[in-house]
A and B are shown apart, each in its own frame.
Chain A
Amino acid sequence: MESIFGFFSDPYINQILTLTGVYLITALGLHLITGLTGLFSFGHAGFMSIGAYTAALLSLNLGTPFILNVFIGGLAAGLAGMLLAFPSMRLTGDYLGITTLGFAEIIRIVFINLDITGGARGLAGIPRDTSLAIVLVIATLSIICMYCIYDSRFGRALTAIREDELAAEAMGINVLFYKVKIFATGTFFAGIGGGLYAHLIQYLNPADFGVSRSFELLNYVVLGGLGSVPGTILGTTVLSLAPEFLRFVHEYRMLIYSALMVAMMIFRPHGLLGGINFRKLLFDLIQRIKSRVTLSKDARRGQ
């Protein structure tokens, strides 16, 4: 027990795990947009930065409570997501992806040019309020939230849109409305992740929220298994910890990382856990145990 506490209170490990949790919350938002609904978003980091800057500026200038700031950051990102979604949801596939990418780049460049965000020098001195415990709680809540969305009428409508938009529309699903709603929800999670990130790293720079960060988040969602919550969790954990484990190869680590990306897609194009239905597995397991129990009961009765 002692050693476990020691392990988690080690500042290096604590920092990495907390950061992984923050990325997980953000990636879950993207999972809703890309995994569940099948909409391409290549600009998730942009929404993350909106949340991050909003929360950080509130903390620095108004001194409002940390959790409230993070929540408002999430709302701000969600609002921005909604504003982008309204006009651009009639675009499909790659066009939508490239529009979100463009939007995120515009946000980044605006943050570089604004005075209040500290411009290209970045925003420093944000209080360190994010802790591993808080991140774990919020991540757990987010995961529960994912399953609630899955099981709801809303979630089923989204799956229908992903599978066949035209058919979904014919079944009376208001496609535009649902798309805007899920885009706002997904970007809300990005904003929450951003707010937590700001209060963890204590320093924000627009360069941290560029295209590469957006694609990194997309990697988390796709490599673990698109459309699956355990897949997103696995993908985020493995990929955000991978650079730490690959430290021994020094400068070659990004080379290995990128080669692995290609190899992964060639050998498992649906991601590590793609196409595996965990609930069905669990259900089958329970069924099997049940049947075994009844079998042994029958056997005993027979004797």
Chain B
Amino acid sequence: MEQFQVFLQLLPQQLVNGITLGATYALIALGYTMVYGIIQLINFAHGEIYMIGAFTGLLLVVYFKINFFVAIIGAILLCVPLAMLIERVAYRPLRGSTRLATLISALGVSLFLQTLMTLIMGPNAQGFPEIVKDTIYTVGSVRFSLVQIVILLVSSIFMVALTLIVKYTKVGKAMRATSESYETANLMGININRIISYTFAIGAALAGAGGVLVGMYFNSIHPMMGVIVGLKCFCAAVLGGIGSIPGAMLGGMFLGVAEVMGVALGFGTYRDAIAFALLILVLLIKPTGIMGRPIQRKV
């Protein structure tokens, strides 16, 4: 009971922490949801893109002493061509074959990148230097650290930019058309291959940025960091309704808050299970996620 009272007192603080964590989840979940929306593939390599983004950020900041914001751009510049290459080599030849085949291919890519990064960077966790001064601002009883503000700011900028791209540009329109129906979009003169490539690129940009932000927030990055975070973010995307962009943002935030609350309530050791338990619960109530459209069965 006492713990619960403490929990209530700290509720606003937990909300802030949860939303910060959730913002990074949302960034990564967006990549999953967009790719799934267009080619119905769980892109398991997405978690590895995020990991590589984090490492790139670390290298740029530590060895090249580059400004943190430039490091984010650097990570994006590496992740985008990488994701497009992965799509070209491992997914495009498999378009039209069974779901499982593409899935295994994605798993292969994911394993490949993990091993490669373990060979290059070593298996141990590495710390991020303190790049953003740890200043703390207090509003009422809630404390914001500068890192949290930077994370919230950067991820909001990215999410707004993404929404604008998808809603108002020609590429965005083509993306929506392609995710609606492959063949029809093709008949309308949309170059499907290019649009799918762009989708991977945008997803990778968000994941790369997310990687740098999370690396900075948790101060620990290692070659296997993409596995569990990738799965959790996919859960977030499914929670929100896969294929839906606002759904992924909502799902990410929801998951972040739920996780922080769970830890605050004393389920710290079950931290990674919270995401999956939530996912199973939501799917059982609404099989396509919170904002997902119902699946129609056609004969």
- A contacts, CB < 8 Å to B: 34, 40, 87-88, 90-95, 97-99, 101-103, 105-106, 109-110, 112-113, 166-167, 211-212, 215, 218-219, 222-223, 226, 251-252, 254-255, 257-262, 264-266, 269-270
Contact = CB atoms under 8 A, between A and B. Distances in A.
Contacts of A212: 227
A99 B283 contact: yes
A295 to B, nearest CB: 42
Interface stretch (B2-10, B140-148, B163-171, B269-277): B269-277
Contacts, number: 121
Interface size class of B (residues with CB under 8 A): 35 or more
A262 B231 contact: no
Give the one of B40, B104, B115, B231 with max A CB within 10 A: B104
A208 B112 CA distance: 20
A112 B269 contact: yes
B119 A251 contact: yes
B153 interface: no
A102 B104 contact: no
A103 B273 CA distance: 9
A97 B277 CA distance: 14
B295 interface: yes
Contacts of B112: 255, 258-259, 262
9 contacts: A91-B287, A92-B295, A98-B238, A101-B276, A113-B270, A226-B98, A259-B112, A265-B101, A265-B104
Given A262-B90, A269-B97, A102 B111 contact: no
Nearest to A254: B115
A260 B112 CA distance: 10
Nearest to B102: A265
Give the one of A255, A257, A264, A265 with max B CB within 10 A: A265
A215 B284 CA distance: 24
Give the one of A94, A110, A262 with max B CB within 10 A: A262
A258 B280 contact: no
B108 A99 contact: no
B299 A110 contact: no
B234 interface: yes
B177 interface: no
B277 A102 contact: yes
A262 B280 contact: no
Given A93-B99, A98-B238, A218-B100, 17 more contacts: A98-B234, A99-B280, A101-B231, A102-B235, A106-B276, A110-B273, A166-B299, A218-B107, A219-B107, A252-B119, A255-B115, A255-B119, A258-B108, A259-B108, A261-B111, A262-B105, A270-B97
Contacts of B279: 98-99, 102
A254 B272 contact: no
Interface in B215-246: 227, 231, 234-235, 238
Contacts of A265: 94, 97, 101-102, 104-105, 108
Nearest to A223: B104
Please name the 9 residue pairs, one residue from A and one from B, whose CB atoms are nearest each other, closest first. A102-B276, A261-B108, A258-B111, A269-B97, A258-B112, A269-B101, A262-B108, A109-B273, A254-B115
A90 B109 CA distance: 30
A112 B271 CA distance: 12
Given A91-B287, A99-B279, A218 B119 contact: no
Contacts of A166: 297, 299
A251 B100 CA distance: 28
A88 B111 contact: no
A266 B96 CA distance: 11
B265 interface: no
Contacts of A257: 111
Q: Interface of chain A, helix or strand or loop or mixed?
A: helix
Interface string B86-125: 0001100110011111101101111110011001000000
A212 B47 CA distance: 14
B150 interface: no
Interface in B147-189: none
A109 to B, nearest CB: 4
A258 B97 contact: no
Contacts of B105: 261-262, 265-266
B42 interface: yes
Given A88-B283, A222-B104, A261-B104, A98 B42 contact: yes
Contact of B273 (A105, A252, A269): A105
Given A102-B276, A105-B231, A269 B94 contact: yes
Nearest to B237: A98
Contacts of A255: 112, 115-116, 119
Contact of B284 (A88, A105, A167, A262): A88
A105 B110 CA distance: 19
Contacts of B270: 109-110, 113
Given A91-B287, A99-B279, A266 B115 contact: no
B292 to A, nearest CB: 10
Give the one of B36, B235, B276 with max A CB within 10 A: B276
Contact of B269 (A87, A113, A219): A113
A259 B102 CA distance: 14
B227 A211 contact: yes
Interface in B247-299: 269-270, 272-273, 275-277, 279-280, 283-284, 287-288, 295, 297, 299
